[in-house]
Amino acid sequence: MVETAFGSALQRSGLRLTPQRMAIAEALAGASKEVSAQELYDRVRRRHPYIGRATVFRSLDTLVGGGLAQRLERPGHVSAYVWCEPGHHHHLICTTCRTVEELDEEAVAPLAQTIVRTRGFRVDHATLDFYGQCRACSRAASREKTAAH
């Protein structure tokens, strides 16, 4: 799926599917957490030591433009990226461990329907990100707080 989807996004952008670009797409798709462009560059360089930083940044822009990656904001206005399938994307983003969980469209659909019904607004594309602590980090923080008192 990664090769086909990324190949299609590159084709729409007028670019070729190269081994370097494929490695970038695979590394992003295989990441268990959101990653910055620098982190992705470092990861890809392990297998492709001659890849350029600019290639990684351009490929990320292509993935975002093709709907295969989403750019998220980290504190301090630093961008991070996650792999996603084309369509609407909604995420739960843990600010402690940086895991990203994709929300099902069904979880957000009632909100979108309310917006359409009450505002008469036709939604073409939507992205909704919730930042906070995942269940594991929240529990760990509660245990630490309890232990401190």
Query: For the segment 1-42, what is each residue's pLDDT rounded down to a tens digit?
Result: 566 766 776 676 666 778 888 889 889 988 888 899 999 999
CATH architecture of 87-149: 2-Layer Sandwich (3.30)
Q: Are 106 and 126 in contact (CB under 8 A)?
A: no
Q: For 120, list phi and psi in degrees, rounded to 5.
A: 65, 25
Average pLDDT (41-60) is 93
Q: For 124, list phi and psi in degrees, rounded to 5.
A: -90, -35
Determine how many CB atoms are found less than 10 A away from the CB of residue 30: 10
Of the chain, the end-to-end C-alpha distance in Å amounts to 50
Q: Supply the mean pLDDT for the chain.
A: 83
Distance set, CA 22 to CA 5, 9, 93, 127, 131 (Å): 10, 11, 26, 26, 30
Domain boundaries of the chain, sorted by first residue: 1-86, 87-149
Q: What sign does the CA torsion over 96, 72, 36, 23 have?
A: positive
Distance CA 90, CA 128 (A): 5
This prediction's pTM: 0.66
Query: For the segment 99-132, what is each residue's pLDDT rounded down to a tens digit?
Result: 888 888 788 888 888 888 999 998 877 778 888 8
Distance CA 138, CA 117 (A): 35
Distance CA 31, CA 141 (A): 25
Average pLDDT (73-98) is 80
Query: Domain 1-86 maps to which CATH number in 1.10.540.10, 1.10.10.10, 3.10.20.30, 3.90.1150.10?
Result: 1.10.10.10
